[in-house]
Amino acid sequence: MEPSERIDQLIAGLKDWRGKTFASVRKFILETDVEIVEEWKWMGSPVWYRHGIIAVANAHKGKVKLTFSYGASLADPDKLFNAGLEGNNWRAVVRCTRLGQAARARSRRRALPSLAPGP
């Protein structure tokens, strides 16, 4: 099964608000840059790449968590990051409810930059 099919299956299995949120987050990420690729890693987690890992997402009981590689290096004027704040590299957005607000407030490219190193 392709990674995109596994992610479709994961989202379809989330019958509450988490499914809608997860689908919105996925759409937001994929529309940000046409070179972003989806993978399925770490025992069932969607991972998005572009010249390296950008983010990994998980649905937990009561939350959707989107964790950004190199998130610690990002400016966060909208205060989206609300987990992993003590780390040196990764930062997370738990529940992802404000991600859409930030996207509308600024361009997608600035709201979700391609964080991984590239050519």
pLDDT 10s digits, 38-91: 999 877 899 998 888 888 888 888 878 787 776 666 666 666 666 555 666 655
CA angle 107, 12, 26 (to 5 degrees): 15
User: Is residue 106 classed as helix, strand or coil in its secondary structure?
Assistant: coil
CATH number at residue 17: 3.90.1150
Domain count, the chain: 1
| 17 in a structural domain | yes
What is the rounded average pLDDT for all residues in the chain? 74
**Does residue 119 fall inside a structural domain?**
no
Please check the confidence at residue 94 and state whether its pLDDT lies above 50: yes
Q: Is residue 12 one of the residues assigned to a domain?
A: yes
Residues 6+ apart with CB under 8 A from 33: 50, 109, 114
116 within a domain of the structure (yes/no) = no
> Looking at the domain assignment, is residue 44 inside a domain?
yes
Residue 91 within a domain: yes
Q: What is the pLDDT of residue 58?
A: 86
pLDDT at 96 over 70: no
Q: Give pLDDT, residue 118.
A: 45
Full residue range of the structural domain in which residue 47 is found = 3-111
- Cα of first residue to Cα of last residue in the chain, in angstroms, is 30
Can you give the pTM of this predicted structure? 0.71
pLDDT at residue 65 in the model? 79
Per the CB < 8 A criterion, the answer to whether 59 and 53 are in contact is no
pLDDT of residue 117: 42
Provide the token pair at 31: 């529309």
Determine the Cα–Cα distance for residues 84 and 114; give it in Å rounded to an integer.
Answer: 19
The first and second tokens of residue 92, run together, are 């997370």
